[in-house]
Amino acid sequence: MFRPELKVLDCTIRDGGLMNEWRFDKAMVKDVFDGLAKAGIDYVELGYRADKKLFSPDDFGPWRFCDEEDLRDVAHECETKVAVMVDVGRTDYEAFLPADDSIVKLFRVATYVKDMDKALELGNHIKSFGYEVSVNIMAISCAPEAELDHAIEQLAATDFDMVYLVDSFGYFTSQHIHYLAEKYLNRLPGKQIGIHTHNNQQLAFANTVEAALKGINYADGSIYGIGRAAGNCPIELLLGFLHNPRFDVRAVFDLIEQYFIDLKKQLRWGYELPYAITGALNKHPRAAMAFIQAGQQGSFARFYDQLLNSEDS
């Protein structure tokens, strides 16, 4: 699988921060950026830019806010670009510098289908400063198809650079990815299409491979699969699959050994039965995270029955 046009985005700090309130030490984040740059990764997403009027810096680490000064403490200008995610309704419109004055190259707008009008407004605002812009439509496994189609139609009319197919709950199988990849590719001409997967059913890597085989040109991964709940596609597997000589996985192995083996014991992301249950039932993993954090009190079967009869998603 050698496609030189396929780009890799690492979301280790951004998605992994959902497991520890983005309280990663700056020295570690700097090592992560340096190692991923050495590995040839195209983009490194270093967190969110959240509105400090809504989220207190006392309650979160710096990667919840990604102030320019903090970003420059850990990243440097090089071929590997800095990316930051922004949530619709949780972002201060005044928090953006002109792109020429910022180390950030790409902002990814995270939205639900129902908020697409707001996502377009935020994306256009960011685009006016000269940044690359992606829109990541979350939880599409729960979205009515007519509404998703309308959202895609709206995005097709923009000058945004990328649109991401996102499996927020780790629900999709290869058949879903095959169908949705074709939809995104056919209905969004001129835009790069990306894939972001979660590993609830141990399909994050397989689904990323399926998307790449269908022609999607941007693929997310994270070191050792770190991410919310079951985590993401392990970037070390992704690099091995791509067989592209510009990527060198050795630096990723060094980071795993130095930081992520111990960190996984502490934060406990990855495949767990409660996460598999939420994935199979197309549910948000919050209930599984609470179940695990409470010491898995009660039976798995009872947990399954409670979710099966719950309208939460």
Residues of the chain with pLDDT > 70, as a percent, come to 99
Looking at residues 266-277, what average pLDDT do you find? 96
- Asked if pLDDT for residue 217 goes beyond 70, the answer is yes
pTM confidence score: 0.96
Average of per-residue pLDDT across 137-150:
98
pLDDT in tens, 280-293: 999 999 999 999 98
Residue 53 has pLDDT above 80, yes or no: yes
Does residue 21 contact residue 50 with C-beta atoms inside 8 Å?
no
The percentage of residues in the chain with a pLDDT greater than 90, rounded to a whole number, is 95
pLDDT number for residue 310: 84
Segment 130-148 mean pLDDT: 98
309 band by pLDDT with thresholds 50, 70 and 90: confident
What are the strands, taking DSSP E only, across the chain? 7-10, 43-48, 81-87, 104-111, 132-137, 162-166, 192-196, 218-221
Q: And the tokens for 293?
A: 């954090």
Find the mean pLDDT for residues 231-236.
98
| Averaged pLDDT for residues 115-131 | 98
pLDDT reading at 296 higher than 80: no
- Note whether 230 and 198 are within 8 A (CB): yes
Q: What pLDDT score does 244 carry? A: 95
The pLDDT score that the predictor gives to residue 2 is 81
Name the CATH superfamily, with its identifier, for domain 7-267.
Aldolase class I (3.20.20.70)
pLDDT digits (tens, 9 = 90+) for 68-79: 999 999 999 999
Contacts of 245 (CB under 8 A, 6+ apart): none
pLDDT above 70 (res 313): no
- Arithmetic mean of pLDDT, 7-30: 98
- The mean-pLDDT minimum among 1-5, 97-101, 187-191, 210-214 falls in 1-5
With H, G, I as helix, E, B as strand and everything else as coil, classify residue 176. Answer: helix
| Token pair recorded at residue 226 | 């770190």
pLDDT of residue 108: 99
Domain ranges in the chain? 7-267, 273-308
